[in-house]
Chain A
Amino acid sequence: MPSAKRRERHVIAANPAAVRGLLERLERGPALEGLSVDARDCTLLVLAEVLNNVVEHGYAGAPGWIGLMPLPGRPGLGWRIVDRASRAATPAAMARDMPVQAAEGGFGLPLIRALTDRLALRRKRGMNILTLEVRAEGGAAEAGVVCGAG
């Protein structure tokens, strides 16, 4: 088992191609290999939404970087995402409900909330630091969706 100091960390450019590349590497790599298929899929979806949110709304087209590292204790499910975007999701945006009618956007943050147990955003020394834990199981049970702990 890798030690905490050797745990994988990733830093990518803040653009959609880099986000896709990172997700594909995570899918193939060891970080998610202990999870069930459902838990892995939910984790990849949550990370996609978080990273794309930083690209689209945080940096909003400006160049930048995003760091991603796993949290100890919840292998594959706990993550920290760090960026230096000048904008971050507001508490109101974080609490937004899923759109109720045909919508072409506004799903990202509600999806993240539906699939996570813990979600905390803080700003420190000019950086946005988001910590999250993907729901181990029973995620959005009302929608018949179970992530599963593996």
Chain B
Amino acid sequence: MDLQIEGRGEVTVIRPAEGRLDALAAVAFKDRMKAAVEAAPGRVVLDLSGVGFIDSSGLGAVVAARRFLRAGQALDLAGLTGPVARVFRLTRMDMLFAIHAEVADAIGEAA
């Protein structure tokens, strides 16, 4: 599970390179998120617009990524597809994150 990482000013946007965040991908995703979050200068936005499937292992890996944040650093989510949004809602883990419709909303850019 590779991640595409893009700096946009003070915000770091991270995109999973695969469309499935599942039990097979979860461990590698978490490892790479740890490195990406630790290297990010400030707020991190996880762009999930390319993820069409997430299971509870993938969800757990996203939640786990919060542990890597430094004081004052935030992890927001953007671009949740229907199946991904459903899992966050059902588990109530949507309450843990600021969730934006698109990355542009998350970083305050005009779409």
Which residues of A are at the interface with B, using a C-beta cutoff of 8 A? 16-17, 19-20, 23, 37-38, 41-42, 44-45, 48-49, 52, 55-56, 98-100, 102-105, 107-108, 110-111, 114-115, 140, 143-145
Contact across chains for A48 and B22 when beta carbons are under 8 A apart: yes
Report the number of A-B residue pairs with Cβ-Cβ less than 8 Å: 77
**B102 interface residue (CB < 8 Å to A):** no
Of the four ranges (under 10, 10 to 19, 20 to 34, 35 or more), the interface on chain B belongs to: 20 to 34
CB closest chain-B residue, reference A46:
B55
Contact across chains for B63 and A104 when beta carbons are under 8 A apart: yes
CA–CA, A140 to B85, complex, Å?
Answer: 14
Contact across chains for A103 and B90 when beta carbons are under 8 A apart: no
Which of B72-105 touch A at CB < 8 Å?
82-83, 86-87, 89-93, 96
Given known pairs A16-B23, A16-B24, A20-B20, the reply for A52 and B90 (CB within 8 Å) is: no
**B66 interface residue (CB < 8 Å to A):** yes
**Residue from the list B59, B61, B89 in contact with A144, Cβ < 8 A:** B89
